[in-house]
Each structure stands twice: as C-alpha cells, then as structure tokens.
Amino acid sequence: MDTAESFQNENEATDYPAASGTDRETSYLGIDLGTSVITICNNKGSTFSEYSLIARDNNPDSERDDEDRLYVGKAALERADLELNWPVKDLLYKGGNCGNLRALIEHCVQAAGITAEHEHRYAMISVPPCADASYRRAVVDAARPLFRGLMIANGPFCVAYGNKKINGSIIIDAGACKTDICRIHDCMPEDRDYLNVPVAGENIDQELVDLLAEKYEGSTVTKELARTWKETYGFVGDADEECRVELPIGDSTEDVMINEELRLACESIIPDIVSGILRIVSDAEPQFREALRNNIYLCGGSSKIRNISSFIENELREVGGGKVFLLDRPECAGAYGACMLAEKMPGEFWEKLSNLDNAKKSDVIL
C-alpha cells in the first residue's frame, strides 16, 4: 500500500502560491473535472473555473469557423437556441462523447492563460473515487493529446493533500450530482474508505423548484434559475438576509421572498450527508474514530451554502459529536491539490508515463 506521506510537501493550501524555482517554460496543472464546474490550477499560482458545459452551433449557414461555433460555460448558457451538453456528467453517468470533453478541457486550458506548448504541459486530473476504469480511460483518451504527461488522481485525496490533511481526516466533497465522503488516514484511500451519497446541489435545485410550484400556482421556475438563486442566497439554519426574487408565474413575474423554501431545499441533503459521515466513522478502526470525527472537512460547490459546516456539526452533536470545517476556497481544493501532486512527481516518472499507451495510463491512479 502506498504511503500518502511520501507525497506531502510544505506549501500552504490557503494561499495557492506559485511554486518557487520552477522552470517557467513548464506548466504543471491540476484539473478538477466536476460535473457542474471545471477548475484548473497551475504552478504559477493562478486558478480558472468555468461551467462544465458546451454548446455547438451546427448551422451550416453560419459564417463562423468551427472554433467560433463552440460555446463553453456561461457563453453556452446564453445560447438558449442551442442544445446544451455537460461532457463530464455525460461521460460519468451515460458514457458520453470524448470529443466534447476534449473540447471543454482544451478551451478551458486556453482560457486559463496556459501558454506552455504541449511538450511542456503536465496535468494531474482529479476524478471522483467512484469513477470506474471506463470513465478513467475516457478521460485519458480525451485529455492525452493536450499534454506531455497526464495522470488521474483520487479527488478526495487531492483535496486532503493540498490542504495537508492526510493524517486522519474525512473529506466531504459536495458537488452538483453527488456527495463523496472519503476517509483519509496515512495511505491512499481504497474502495472501503469512501461513500458515494447520491444527494447534492442538483437535488437542492429540484427541491426548490418543487416547493415553489407547490406554494405558487403557475410557477415556471426552472432548475437553472433555482441554481442561480441557490448560488446567490443559499443557506441552512438562520438566514442573514432577505432572499427576494422575481418569480416567473405564467407570462409575468412576482416579487416574492423565498427564504423558507430555500432553507428547506438546502437542508434537504443534510440528513443523508450526516448518515454518510456516521457510516464512514463506524467502519474505521476503533482507535481512529475520534480523530476522524474531529477532522471533517467540507469542499465542493455545494459546500458554499451559508452555515453548512456549523449546521452539520450541530446535527452530529445529537449522535456523538464531531468537528466540521469549511476549507478555504472550497471550490478549488481538488484542483489545487492535484496541481501540487503534479509538480511533486519527479521528471523521470512523467517521462515513463508519457511512453505508456492510453489504456495503461488510465490504470495509473493515485
């Protein structure tokens, strides 16, 4: 079993510093392929995020060239006339198109300002612990032409590594489609160390849509609009501001306050997350359980809901207690840790890896 401590270094995660003494012609990238958001960190200290979404204008009469016909992230959301594709989600759950994922990654690498040529780019891609071999292979197939060296890494381990939390912690990565709960204790996590909880941000969005439809007859709120309100006002527990929105009802809108519905929607995922934490703790060796309970760290897009760490901690008090902490810049934690891992790998390792075929590369995972 590999020892996680062998990969730990001294950088502080909260500052996201550029590496010292690094060849300026070489870029080491950490890429977190979220189903909703893709995040890229590089060894020069910069971070880039965008919705994991693309749309293509396939109109044969369009005067735009092929590259200009691709819309990514927010630009794609603005094209209501085009079919939207979520490449990461499609590949993870439906076995989608590798070409769409490659287009997404390539666009975001360019948008992130990565100027190093292909031969001087190395990437560590963070993937969910539940990702199977076919998904990892698809990611490698999609991304390999863009980098000299490429490796897949366990997402929660990347988070723990980047935040120096590998010595006895629980990482909760609350994303859009699911919440990963992973136990990290001195070694690379195995299958028995993680739990996939099938509730996350999209469940909140749908619950908010349903609650508003129940209260306001004729409500035409979409999941996309609900997501925007959640990202702007989302909270659990006590609200610190009024959440007033223009609610679409039929052909008009109405100014309403949605505090109660938003609170209920955001709190709807908490019981399953708490149950997952308890299961992960109870499955650990008895001598490690107290340390794990008191070192629970939240990251991911849904972790930005106001008060979520203290709310979960309060829920845990009813079942034995625990300490829950929100990581700094939680939406970037996976990409930053992946970048640190990429930079830590020795040059000869990357050289050997670059000579493997894609099928074997997908089997090399941290």
Domain boundaries along the sequence of the chain:
4-162+332-361, 167-199+269-330, 201-267
CA–CA gap between residue 195 and residue 274 (Å, rounded): 12
Q: Name the fold adopted by 4-162+332-361.
A: Nucleotidyltransferase; domain 5 (3.30.420)
- Is the pLDDT confidence value at 291 over 90? yes
- How many residues are listed for the chain in this entry? 366
Other CB atoms closer than 10 Å to residue 139's CB: what's the count?
Answer: 26
Given this model, what pLDDT does residue 360 score? 53
Given this model, what pLDDT does residue 96 score? 72
CA–CA gap between residue 135 and residue 94 (Å, rounded): 10
- Is the pLDDT confidence value at 168 over 50? yes
CA–CA gap between residue 337 and residue 155 (Å, rounded): 9
- Is the pLDDT confidence value at 199 over 80? yes
Grade residue 7 by pLDDT with cuts at 50, 70 and 90. Answer: very low
Q: What is the mean pLDDT of the chain?
A: 87
Q: Which CATH number fits domain 201-267: 3.40.1280.10, 3.40.50.720, 3.30.450.40, 3.30.420.40?
A: 3.30.420.40
Cα 175 to its chain centre, rounded Å, is: 6
- Is the pLDDT confidence value at 106 over 70? yes
Given this model, what pLDDT does residue 366 score? 57
Q: Which two tokens stand for residue 164?
A: 């120096």
In our burial notation (b when 16+ CB lie closer than 10 A, e otherwise), range 22-46 reads eeeebbbbbbbbbbbbbbbbbbbee
β-pair type (37-42, 47-51)? antiparallel
Given this model, what pLDDT does residue 122 score? 93
β-pair type (244-249, 252-257)? antiparallel
- For residues 285 and 243, the answer to whether their CB atoms sit within 8 Å is no
Alpha helices by DSSP H, listed for the chain, are 74-77, 87-94, 98-111, 133-143, 155-162, 201-215, 223-233, 259-267, 270-282, 289-293, 308-317, 333-344, 347-354, 358-361
CATH class of this structure's domain 167-199+269-330: alpha beta
Query: With pLDDT > 70 as the criterion, what percentage of the chain qualifies?
Result: 87
- Is the pLDDT confidence value at 13 over 50? no
Same fold, 4-162+332-361 and 201-267: yes
